Structure 1
Amino acid sequence: MDDVRRLIPRTDALLADERFVAAASRVGRERVKAAIGAAQEAARAGRIAPGDVAETALAGLAHVGGRAVLNATGVILHTNLGRAPLSAEARRAVAEAAGCTDVELDLATGRRGARGRDAMAALAAKVPDAGGVHVVNNNAAALVLAATALAAGREIVIARGELVEIGAGFRLPELLESTGARLREVGTTNRTTVRDYASVLGPETGFVLKVHPSNYRVVGFTSEAAPRELAALCREADVPFVGDIGSGLLAPDRVLPDEPDAATWLRAGADLVTASGDKLLGGPQCGLLLGRADLVERLRRHPLARALRVDKLTLAALEASLLFPTPTAESLHADPSVLRARAESLAAALRADGLDAHACDSVAVVGGGGAPGVDLPSAAVSLPASYAAPLRTGTPAVLARLDNDRCLLDLRALPPTHDPNLLKAIRQCT
């Protein structure tokens, strides 16, 4: 039998194709060659037919800034998919902000205005327990700014069990030490008490830091100092108490009763709380600094704050995410019975096409380093495992998960408005 790989079109032949010539004038010859090479490799691996190389390469070149993906993994905040998807209102706000805006202008007076004042006002309104608010690039940047402004050349007191790795090999201790601060570790990996903190506080203490280990849990013989206890200790010692809640939950949520939130930690006495904007808040990537007005102002005026500031697009997306419902919140609070009904309807439509599809119960998770161990009841459309790869590389691209030799399309993180697109993607794989 002839090797089907011999049917894969040659690179020079494709580059001479007028469609690729036009693409090269738009995105550059090197990018076109890379897209062709990727499609050829997919054909060699058997993921696409040799005759589909040109169309696959052209489809890849049609997307600038990344391809849209339907998230059918059951992971609400999928880091590899950019975590929180923005709401329609936030997308419109970003599109409008892409032009000239009054981001730093007071139109009433014609003079310079406070940067991002509307977004800051919306954030302050969402967290009334914070005397001041500020926004930087991401949560790591918020911690770096706090460590630089409050503890450079001094000590940050932190529990040994909270020296976490935050993903992609970045470790919190190394991040904090890069600012010139020294870490003073207290307690043990599994048990830390208020007395452990009290025994090391002194003139060299820049602040006490409590980190929520949001992407793992330690169970068994464990103990930790509560935020309220640490706040009382820090007030007595006259040192700031900084809390990193990580996931960006601004207020308590019944679905996540054990997840720390900014309002609760501030009411417990935290002087400063840091969090992410692109996790449970459901907004763009950014880092939130919430707390005592004097501390926040001190950080805002620090020279490093300029290097860490967010742009007008982020401010626009953040404001809209604070003012309107987010896809993250909708996915988190989705009714399992509604998800099951959607799965049944989709599966029935596919069976009518002669496909091996059925609805099944599923389990979704929060993801994004938030709420580890929390399972969310969900529903999925089950297909043969062979569908996973063509769905992932199709248009629209669909990311599913494999379970017991089946391809599961979990609906928890997929808005119902995308159901027609999901059906289209599946039918294209047949």
Structure 2
Amino acid sequence: MKQPMPDKQLQLKSLPGVDHILTLAETDDRFIRVPRSLVLESVRRAIDDIRTQILEHRPLVVSDEAIIKQAALLAARKMKNRLGPLINATGVVLHTNLGRAVLCREALDNIVAVSSSYSNLELNLSTGKRGIRYEAIEALICELTGAQAAMAVNNNAGAVLLALNTLAQGRQVIVSRGELVEIGGAFRVPDVMIKSGCILKEVGTTNRTHPHDYTHAITEETGLLLKVHTSNYKIEGFTTSVSLKDVVGIGKSHGIPVMEDLGSGTLIDLSAFGLPSEPPVSEQVASGADVVTFSGDKLLGGPQAGIIVGTKQCLDQIRANPLTRALRIDKMTLAGLEATLKLYRDTRVAVEKIPTLKMLTLPYEQICQDAEVLLSLVTEAVGDRAELALADMTSRPGGGSCPGLTLPTRCLTIRPETMSVTSLDKQLRAFDPPVMGRIENNCFIIDPRTLQPGQNKILANILKKLMN
């Protein structure tokens, strides 16, 4: 026999007042570290939620404990940081959505040391007078790249915007049509150029550009020749492009400065580690470019920054641009960047200590060993509640770096018995810490390449809790 619905009006009348619940919350351990203003907001919200459920005739128990529990849950959500760490099991090393480069221990230690105290951010300790914040990294960058001068701003798009605005505002900038790239978030080189106050002059075709395309396009209105490294895609087949060295030659013969946007940018020759060759910054500087820009948080493996290197004349002009102050980096970025750059004085040390480089160059044999350990841990944790196996797959550099490159890897595949794969994926993302993997062939995939030290055990414990 169907039970009669509880009387809606009686339930509404039985709702306790806010003050009553607040008094109970004062002695409840779940609210110990919660500010009173947030406790009040959570209690009001909890009572309102239950009132709504009553009005919608949804079955529930109206009690002080039910309201306190709901309020505590709401308060906990508010107290939790929105930005937090997670486990990257996707195999994408420079995952833009997951914060790109993981910083090395040296960078983290330096950030803490500098940001937890006063520092000589803009103080010349020799003279006791105001200094320039870029002095913390300029000499180091010049040492590593061979450039005359260097500085850094908030990101590479900012670096490109600033350099273009400084060197060619109101004038034409010649770019090959095949280099008008679009980066993540639909930001495009032509749009950045418009905002910089420059006039775009396209030359060549999508797949073929020749030296004469540049020379024929040069007029009295030309302010800059721009090369853009296609770091996030490749054009293959019937193609021709003009090298930076050749563009520099054209620029010098016409008295026009040349700039290259390297995009990702690397300080070492990755081909020495079995990866496709990406042009190191030092090679581009040696080609004679007046300005080269690149990212700090991609292949470099440091904090987000846009690094500008080049001739002293051009860099002096860029520093004097009022936009430089609007785009400047803070002490924490400088501290992390300096510590990361110092590791590049020894390539072997850089590859060992900078997580991005270590993950990219991780030998397949090592990944196989890591996968075996992971399989053993997860098998012990979940038992027969999931079908587990190892499979050869591929990882990706990500972050608009090394386009088309895939890295051989061995992954753990999980096919749960007690829930769907999509449900497992959703629950892993909702866990604390969240876990990001990928789904292929109705299996949840965990790629050991991007797991940080100790995370295999954490993952096993998380899976155990979710599948019990």
Contact 2:223 2:257 in 1 (8 A): yes
Unmatched runs of 5 consecutive residues or more in structure 1 = 3-9, 41-49
TM-score w.r.t. length of structure 1: 0.87
Match of 1:259 in 2: 278
Match of 1:156 in 2: 173
Select 1:310's aligned residue among 325, 329, 340.
Answer: 329
Select 1:271's aligned residue among 287, 290, 305.
Answer: 290
**Structure 2 counterpart of 1:205, which letter?**
T
| Greater Cα shift, 364-373 or 212-221 | 212-221
Judged with a 3 Å threshold, the aligned counterparts in structure 2 of structure 1 residues 59 and 369 are, in CA distance, closer, same or farther, namely farther
**Structure 2 counterpart of 1:428, which letter?**
K
**Structure 2 counterpart of 1:321, which letter?**
T
Select 2:114's aligned residue among 80, 89, 97.
Answer: 97
Match of 1:383 in 2: 414
Judged with a 3 Å threshold, the aligned counterparts in structure 2 of structure 1 residues 335 and 215 are, in CA distance, closer, same or farther, namely same
CA offset at residue 188 of structure 1? 0.9
Sequence identity of aligned pairs in percent? 36
Select 1:340's aligned residue among 340, 353, 368.
Answer: 368
Match of 2:355 in 1: 327
CA offset at residue 347 of structure 1? 0.8
Match of 1:5 in 2: none
Judged with a 3 Å threshold, the aligned counterparts in structure 2 of structure 1 residues 371 and 279 are, in CA distance, closer, same or farther, namely same
SS in 1 for 2:297: coil
Q: What is the CA deviation profile of residues 35-59 of structure 1, one whole-angstrom value per residue up to 9, with x for unaligned ones? A: 99xxx9xxxxxxxxx9x98887566
1:280 aligned onto 2:280 = no
Provide the rounded CA distance (Å) in 1 between the counterparts of 2:40 and 2:405: 45
Provide the rounded CA distance (Å) in 2 between the counterparts of 1:165 and 1:309: 24
Match of 2:349 in 1: none
SS in 2 for 1:75: coil
**Structure 1 counterpart of 2:259, which letter?**
V
**Structure 2 counterpart of 1:363, which letter?**
T
Aligned residues: 410
Match of 2:311 in 1: 292
Contact 1:339 1:412 in 2 (8 A): yes
SS in 2 for 1:246: coil
* CA-based RMSD: 3.0
Provide the rounded CA distance (Å) in 2 between the counterparts of 1:392 and 1:236: 57
Q: What is the CA deviation profile of residues 253-283 of structure 1, one whole-angstrom value per residue up to 9, with x for unaligned ones? A: 1144342321121122222111111101011
Provide the rounded CA distance (Å) in 1 between the counterparts of 2:400 and 2:309: 20
Judged with a 3 Å threshold, the aligned counterparts in structure 2 of structure 1 residues 218 and 379 are, in CA distance, closer, same or farther, namely same
Q: What is the CA deviation profile of residues 389-426 of structure 1, one whole-angstrom value per residue up to 9, with x for unaligned ones? A: 22111122111011111111111122233222222222
Higher relative helix content: 2
Judged with a 3 Å threshold, the aligned counterparts in structure 2 of structure 1 residues 165 and 27 are, in CA distance, closer, same or farther, namely farther
Q: What is the CA deviation profile of residues 53-75 of structure 1, one whole-angstrom value per residue up to 9, with x for unaligned ones? A: 88875664454361211111010
Unmatched runs of 5 consecutive residues or more in structure 2 = 4-14, 51-65, 344-352, 416-420
| Greater Cα shift, 20-29 or 398-407 | 20-29
Judged with a 3 Å threshold, the aligned counterparts in structure 2 of structure 1 residues 200 and 24 are, in CA distance, closer, same or farther, namely same
Q: What is the CA deviation profile of residues 59-115 of structure 1, one whole-angstrom value per residue up to 9, with x for unaligned ones? A: 644543612111110100000011111112211211122231111123344322331
Match of 2:205 in 1: 188
Provide the rounded CA distance (Å) in 1 between the counterparts of 2:186 and 2:209: 25
TM-score w.r.t. length of structure 2: 0.80
Provide the rounded CA distance (Å) in 1 between the counterparts of 2:379 and 2:446: 15
| Greater Cα shift, 416-425 or 295-304 | 416-425
**Structure 2 counterpart of 1:365, which letter?**
R
CA offset at residue 29 of structure 1? 6.8
Contact 1:20 1:32 in 2 (8 A): no
